[in-house]
Chains A and B, each alone.
Chain A
Amino acid sequence: MTKPEKALIFELSQPGRVAYALPDCDVPEVEITELIPASYLRSVPAALPEVYEVDVIRHYTELSRRNFGIDNGFYPLGSCTMKYNPKINEDVARFSGFAKIHPYQPEETIQGALELLYTLQNDIAALTGMDQVTLQPAAGAHGEWTGLMMIRAYHESRGDSRTKVIVPDSSHGTNPASATVAGLETITIPSNARGHVDLDALRAVVGSDTAALMLTNPNTLGLFEEQIVEIARIVHEAGGLLYYDGANSNAIMGITRPGDMGFDVVHLNLHKTMSTPHGGGGPGAGPVGVKQLLIPFLPKPIVIQRQDGIFTFDHERPHSIGRVKAYYGNFGILVRAYTYIRTYGPEGLRHVSQLAVLNANYMMHRLAPYFHVPYPGVCKHEFVISGKQLKQYGVRTLDVAKRLLDFGYHPPTIYFPLNVEECIMIEPTETESKETLDAFIDTMIHIIKEAETTPELLLNAPYRTTVRRLDETQAARKPVLNCSCN
């Protein structure tokens, strides 16, 4: 069932073939060595493939056929919000007036782009309950770092040397990693038996050194932190600030806002909540919103509208943490996110969150008889189940995930969060139909039966994919990281 090896593009090379058509040089040519000293010139041409256009198209088309995206099928990857990526977003981002413009053009020649950025800043501020937004950060982790740098700058501006960032044990790995690169130290606190922040554990660690608490809400278990107002009070009373990791915002749009919960900083992952494509790993965008007290520290520039209606970049921000991204962020992604917001409007976005939550709860209830559900009750946009009961058959969560591949599904997130044994984290999103959910659930039940009767079927899965299970140990022990064409 697997496919034969696919040659590398370099392996298709035949001297003499070309896939380009450049113009002839229409200016008087000068000998290169008269323009550039020989010691600066490349002694050997880059050994790039020599192929013709059909080779290029067939090669990459075949690679695409060995890849699985949302358009290929159900992709319930928890915490990644793999919702449908609307096609109008793609078309619009390719308009010449968006794709073929330069950030250093005179501002009067990019007023349409600035208007879009300005409107998106305001929409995100309203959606999150924040007072001002920067669109610069390129991704969620980049937004986290930006937010923490602002928090650090805020405390420093008050002569307050606070260095500790508190994160729950269920947090995304980027949270503590971002704290480190922002020059701060992480304190990890355990969750309580119900999967929530343990208030006693929180009280035990907050103090005069607390810079911030980082939280997702709903958290990575898909549970809403019901005590959020109290949590915010505890942190604020100790002089710390609250950072909202917006990875799970798809559950709450128009229903509740981080700003109203007490958060001071929030980032949104536009490639999750706002439907922009994940691109096989990027590009994304991670805008950051802040409350009034942090506005002076926002990265510069910010787009503002002058009294006369003209949009302009405001560079005069003396307390800014500086620039975090070249130019003005991932504009092409911002265009897509704005387009998305305009397909829904305020009522539509609330409906999106309601249906995302409905889908998740429906799946959880239907799967509950077959899997251990560590946190029963109501979930938000995602939920976790545990595959620990399968261990009696010698099967692990990983094997269930690999078996799902044979049925044409992208598996859920597995082994995260770290505090749930044999964790399976499922996020269906709102763009999946009941039939799709039912078919997936039936497949999961079928796989459980297989585990009971023929566990080796799971242990050796997948069978119907491009390749079988790969030797990751060999990849790491003897790294082969390029084709050594040089």
Chain B
Amino acid sequence: MKHRYLPLTPKDQTEMMRTIGIDAMEQLFQDIPQEIRYQGNLPISEALDEISLLRHMRQLAGKNADFDQYSSFLGAGLYDHHIPVVINHIISRSEFYTAYTPYQPEISQGELQAIFEFQSFICELTGMAVANASMYDGATALAEAAALASGATKRKQIILSRTIHPEARQIVHSTARGLHLEVVEIEDLDGVTNLEQLATCVTNNCAAVLVQSPNFFGCIEDVKAIADIIHQHKGLCVVSTNPLSLGILERPGHLGADVVVGDAQPLGIAASLGGPTCGFFAVTEPYMRKMPGRIVGQTVDREGQRGFVLTLQAREQHIRREKATSNICSNQALLALSASVYLSTMGKQGLQDVARLNLQKAHYAAQRLTQHAAFSRPFLAPFFNEFVLKLPDRWDMSQLQKNLLESGYIGGYHLGRDYPELQNHMLIAVTERRTRTEIDQFAAVLGGMFP
């Protein structure tokens, strides 16, 4: 058969087989026992020519409601931020995206320097001493932080705030089962971690307290108070954060965090049904050699010129095998690159500006929506770009979403999915992409359903 990705002509194949000393391709597979040979053609999707394939894929894509057609007020960990156009041009350079892990540093200085810069960006944003080359996503990074804390403290209990993203909590639970760790969940009080309950739960058996700020409800946690509580018992304070919020919010590293993780999706990464995104992972100096994943370090070549290499590899699976700090073998290099290009593009002023726009627009939306008598905000803690709106009791979520869609809006997240007590509560995100007109109309459409 002829195919555009396959170069070997029948003539090539014949010559090559002659070199090998065989007459038929079949002879290359004689080591596979007959009883397990597959007969016939696999029942999988059929081949399409390029025109038909593009048509088919456009058709599938066309069945999805996307952010170009609808204004989204949906966040819950994944946001419709503006992606500066330069990013796609950079990550489309195939020297970056068709490369493997930079194991041969002499021909991978571009990727290595890009990762070194990413690590620098993350340290600068979070106020931490060291960052790694990235993780699968924010949720798995949080789970790895729990593993690090357990390993570093030789303790088996993890305290998890219920205000953390529900899916991230599920992944921490899955991971903890693997590592035989005990997980204790702390309730929320008025939308933030219940500090009183936390104080009574934390003991000298706790490896770490895991919190998210801004948390899943959008509320900003008192990280310093939480860090103080766990530090009294010599456990670690692990903070998951939204990196875009750090344009205006205090660095977790200055509030007492020992590990800071999060998802870099808000930094120029497409939502893409939730993946791929990019987790980041940063620690204070003492935990440097306990970090999971790849790390790039600066060094010199034999002529004394600056260069970069993968380093501290004695922690990793390809060296340590079953004694490694983690089984992770890849990172999200291309998306870490997206985040770096984003932060380079926004720069010192731009990141503050975009964070401020999110803050102002979200507060305007909150104020606008709560002008309607049927709506209120149950949680009064300070928030960044996302807040909880209480709707009247007894309403049909799917009908409401449908009405919003008909008006061109993707509504917020229904919190009742994860929090039974919040059945009639919607989590609303407002990014810099939303205009005042959209916010006003969204409020009018939503309000119109509850006359």
B37 touches A256 (CB 8 A): yes
Interface of chain A residues 69 through 117 with chain B (CB within 8 A): 69-72, 75, 77, 80, 82-86, 88, 90-106, 109-113, 115-116
B357 touches A140 (CB 8 A): no
Residues of chain B within 8 A of A284, CB atoms compared = 330
B141 to chain A, nearest CB (A): 10
A69 touches B333 (CB 8 A): no
Interface string of A279-294 (1 = CB under 8 A from B): 1111111000000000
A35 within 8 A of B: yes
Residues of chain B within 8 A of A357, CB atoms compared = 28-29
B206 within 8 A of A: no
Q: How far is the CA of A364 from the CA of B192 in the complex (A)?
A: 63
A166 within 8 A of B: no
Q: How far is the CA of A68 from the CA of B46 in the complex (A)?
A: 34
A126 touches B382 (CB 8 A): no
B199 within 8 A of A: no
Interface of chain B residues 318 through 337 with chain A (CB within 8 A): 318-324, 326-335, 337
A393 within 8 A of B: no
A433 touches B57 (CB 8 A): no
Residues of chain A within 8 A of B82, CB atoms compared = 22
Binds B, one of A200-208, A346-354, A450-458: A346-354
Interface of chain A residues 243 through 277 with chain B (CB within 8 A): 252-257, 260-261, 277
A344 to chain B, nearest CB (A): 6
A439 within 8 A of B: no
Residues of chain B within 8 A of A177, CB atoms compared = 317, 320-322, 324, 326-327
> Knowing A105-B410, A141-B327 touch, does A67 contact B20 (C-beta < 8 A)?
no
> Knowing A101-B64, A256-B37 touch, does A378 contact B254 (C-beta < 8 A)?
no
Binds A, one of B94-102, B231-239, B369-377: B94-102
A328 touches B58 (CB 8 A): no
A462 within 8 A of B: yes
Interface string of B138-173 (1 = CB under 8 A from A): 111000000100000000000000000101101101
B147 touches A261 (CB 8 A): no
B109 touches A67 (CB 8 A): yes
A455 to chain B, nearest CB (A): 17
Interface string of B177-213 (1 = CB under 8 A from A): 1111000000000000000000000000000000000
A-B interface contact total, Cβ < 8 Å: 705
A57 touches B86 (CB 8 A): yes
In this complex, what residue of A is CB-closest to B58? A95
Residues of chain A within 8 A of B301, CB atoms compared = 2, 467-471
Interface string of B1-30 (1 = CB under 8 A from A): 101111110001101110111000101111
B146 to chain A, nearest CB (A): 11
A284 to chain B, nearest CB (A): 6
Q: How far is the CA of A138 from the CA of B143 in the complex (A)?
A: 14
B116 touches A282 (CB 8 A): no
Residues of chain A within 8 A of B101, CB atoms compared = 278, 280-281
B100 touches A278 (CB 8 A): yes
Q: How far is the CA of A39 from the CA of B317 in the complex (A)?
A: 41
Q: How far is the CA of A97 from the CA of B56 in the complex (A)?
A: 13
> Knowing A50-B348, A279-B332 touch, does A331 contact B364 (C-beta < 8 A)?
no
B423 within 8 A of A: no
Residues of chain A within 8 A of B340, CB atoms compared = 9
In this complex, what residue of A is CB-closest to B404? A106
In this complex, what residue of A is CB-closest to B430? A27
In this complex, what residue of A is CB-closest to B277? A326
B349 to chain A, nearest CB (A): 6
B416 to chain A, nearest CB (A): 13
Binds B, one of A233-241, A384-392, A472-480: A472-480
Q: How far is the CA of A71 from the CA of B95 in the complex (A)?
A: 7
Q: Choose one: B1, B47, B100, B271; the contact of A82 (CB below 8 Å).
A: B100
> Knowing A26-B436, A341-B44, A466-B107 touch, does A104 contact B275 (C-beta < 8 A)?
no
Q: How far is the CA of A27 from the CA of B369 in the complex (A)?
A: 14
B12 to chain A, nearest CB (A): 5
Give how many B residues have a beta carbon under 8 Å from the other chain's beta carbons: 209
Residues of chain B within 8 A of A343, CB atoms compared = 3-5, 47-48, 50, 53
B36 touches A2 (CB 8 A): no
Interface of chain A residues 418 through 449 with chain B (CB within 8 A): 430-434
Q: How far is the CA of A172 from the CA of B351 in the complex (A)?
A: 42
Residues of chain A within 8 A of B273, CB atoms compared = 98, 101-103, 110, 113, 327-328, 331-332
A298 within 8 A of B: no
A56 to chain B, nearest CB (A): 5
Residues of chain B within 8 A of A106, CB atoms compared = 398, 401-402, 405
A430 touches B77 (CB 8 A): no
A173 touches B100 (CB 8 A): no
> Knowing A86-B5, A470-B309, A485-B120 touch, does A115 contact B349 (C-beta < 8 A)?
no
B228 within 8 A of A: no
B360 touches A138 (CB 8 A): no
Q: Bin the interface of chain A by size.
A: 35 or more
B290 within 8 A of A: no
A41 touches B250 (CB 8 A): yes
> Knowing A139-B330, A255-B38 touch, does A116 contact B100 (C-beta < 8 A)?
no
Q: How far is the CA of A471 from the CA of B382 in the complex (A)?
A: 49
A321 touches B177 (CB 8 A): yes
A40 to chain B, nearest CB (A): 5
A42 touches B249 (CB 8 A): yes
B88 touches A94 (CB 8 A): yes
B175 touches A181 (CB 8 A): yes
A312 to chain B, nearest CB (A): 13
Interface string of A155-175 (1 = CB under 8 A from B): 000000000000000001110
A307 within 8 A of B: no
A481 within 8 A of B: yes
A70 touches B98 (CB 8 A): yes
Interface string of A318-337 (1 = CB under 8 A from B): 00011111111111110100
A281 touches B330 (CB 8 A): yes
B36 touches A260 (CB 8 A): yes
Q: Choose one: B13, B53, B64, B341; the contact of A110 (CB below 8 Å).
A: B64
Residues of chain B within 8 A of A18, CB atoms compared = 347, 349-350
A15 to chain B, nearest CB (A): 8
A124 to chain B, nearest CB (A): 8
Q: How far is the CA of A474 from the CA of B299 in the complex (A)?
A: 6
B449 within 8 A of A: no
A404 to chain B, nearest CB (A): 9
A193 within 8 A of B: no
Interface string of B346-389 (1 = CB under 8 A from A): 11111111101101110110000000000000000010100000
Residues of chain A within 8 A of B407, CB atoms compared = none
> Knowing A102-B78, A482-B120 touch, does A111 contact B106 (C-beta < 8 A)?
no
Interface string of B282-308 (1 = CB under 8 A from A): 000000100000111111111101111
Q: Choose one: B220, B275, B326, B382; the contact of A332 (CB below 8 Å).
A: B275
> Knowing A53-B86, A88-B50, A331-B275 touch, does A71 contact B410 (C-beta < 8 A)?
no
B125 within 8 A of A: yes
A–B complex contacts, Cβ < 8 Å, 10 sampled: A9-B340, A27-B436, A30-B360, A49-B343, A97-B63, A104-B76, A176-B321, A183-B178, A186-B322, A279-B332
4 additional contacts, CB 8 Å, given A82-B100, A327-B274? A13-B348, A35-B382, A48-B350, A95-B58
